[in-house]
Amino acid sequence: MTENAVAVVILAAGQGSRMQSDLPKVLHRLGQVPLVGHALSAARSLEPELVIVVTGHGADRVAQAVAALDPEAATVLQSEQLGTGHAVRQALPQLEGFEGKVVVLYGDTPFIGQDTLAALASHSADLVVLGFEADDPGRYGRLVVSDRGLERIVEYKDADAATRQIVLCNSGVMALEANLLRLLIARLSNENAAGEYYLTDLVALARAEGRRADVVLCDEAETLGINTRAELAAAEAAFQARARIRAMEDGVTLTDPDSVWFALDTVIGRDATVGPNVVFGPGVTVESEAEILPFCHLEGCHVSSGARVGPFARLRPGAELGGDVHVGNFVEIKNAVLDEGVKVGHLTYLGDAHVGEHTNIGAGTITCNYDGVMKHRTTIGPRAFIGSDTMLVAPVRIGADAMTGSGSTITEDVPDGALAIGRARQVTKPGLATRLMAALRLKKEAR
């Protein structure tokens, strides 16, 4: 175990009934990923030895999402929702043998910053609570502090008039040594109106043991919890505003910032340019000096330096664009690698393909990659020229410097340097168009 070791417990068992949803609350999306993904990302900023997610409502779905987001995180089940203290108790078997600091986070509180978490994890007090000064304290629990540190947490319903005047409020997030957690959590009582075990009671128990409790302060905005659809929408707006500012501060040009939508893990290099109405799904990296034109949707893809995408283009998972690639309007790329200098101007679908450098793909080209059961791959060599309206029926290989004639359906491999034409011979019938239209008009008049 490393010195100053940290473990993180994320509480994600609640139903979230105020969301009016069959979906567990922590699986509602913010910044294109489930809420619990934000907590997992924050936890990983501490480089923890253990991350434990406590599930409850919709446990199987939450565990599946956690495994996809962070395969190294463990999940444990809180079969009955008997309070936050009871939830943390379910994580104790996973913490067996761990002797570092345990940080408790919430799966529906997405905005706690890395600096705040670092301050919590490194604080010298035996128990540390994250607090904030609220503009409107409302029904938040109050933190009562003195020169001896945090004296107690008083729930609003239990507070007298003087205590309700306190603006220092409890976020619910705390950190304490693992051995102290094990000692105190066994002493929690559910002798209260709700019959639940409250994590906040650990403060009084720690003080009774002669331990020091203290408070780390953060901005109120970091503690925003999501309980309703309206709060989720407000959180999305806040997340996007921060992401846009961060991108511009990092040297990205957003020509219309308010219309660009980011995911939690979007990475864009300096001097890249993003036009209006661009949506970044999860897993997107755009390198420096690339340009994303208006009305594009990108997900699970990589765009190299100098590439130009759009307008009205869609990059789906597995799209890899090399340097100086041009993907134009109404082009869709999926699970395909486009090497340096490839040009795909318009009205094209490239799926399950590899396109060699400096190849030109004509308008209306389609890689016919699906036979109804399995996907098949198309390989196009460097410097090839694919004529407009070419159907490439995979599996098929087009060689280096090869060409296909416009309107061709290609079902066989094309050797290097060859021209392939796969279309029916044109037949012209002089005067037939005039006679046919006249007959059709007569038929219409007779009706």
- In our burial notation (b when 16+ CB lie closer than 10 A, e otherwise), range 188-202 reads beeeeeeebbbbbbb
CB–CB of 87/13 below 8 Å? yes
Least Cα distance to 404 among 369, 375, 367, 370 occurs for: 367
Question: Could you write out the DSSP letters of every residue in 296-330?
Answer: -EE-S-EE-TT-EE-SS-EE-TT-EE-TT-EEEEE
Alpha-carbon radius of gyration of the chain: 30
Determine the Cα–Cα distance for residues 342 and 358; give it in Å rounded to an integer.
5
Determine the Cα–Cα distance for residues 339 and 324; give it in Å rounded to an integer.
9
Determine the Cα–Cα distance for residues 196 and 173; give it in Å rounded to an integer.
18
Least Cα distance to 225 among 25, 80, 57 occurs for: 25
Determine the Cα–Cα distance for residues 332 and 313; give it in Å rounded to an integer.
6
CB–CB of 365/348 below 8 Å? yes
Region label for 389, one of left (φ > 0), alpha (ψ between -120 and 50) or beta (otherwise): left
In the residue annotation, 302 being an active-site residue is answered as no
Output the CA torsion 25→44→224→240 (10° steps).
-90
Output the CA torsion 17→19→23→24 (10° steps).
-60
Catalytic residue among 297, 346, 358, 376: 346
Instruction: List the catalytic residues.
Output: 346
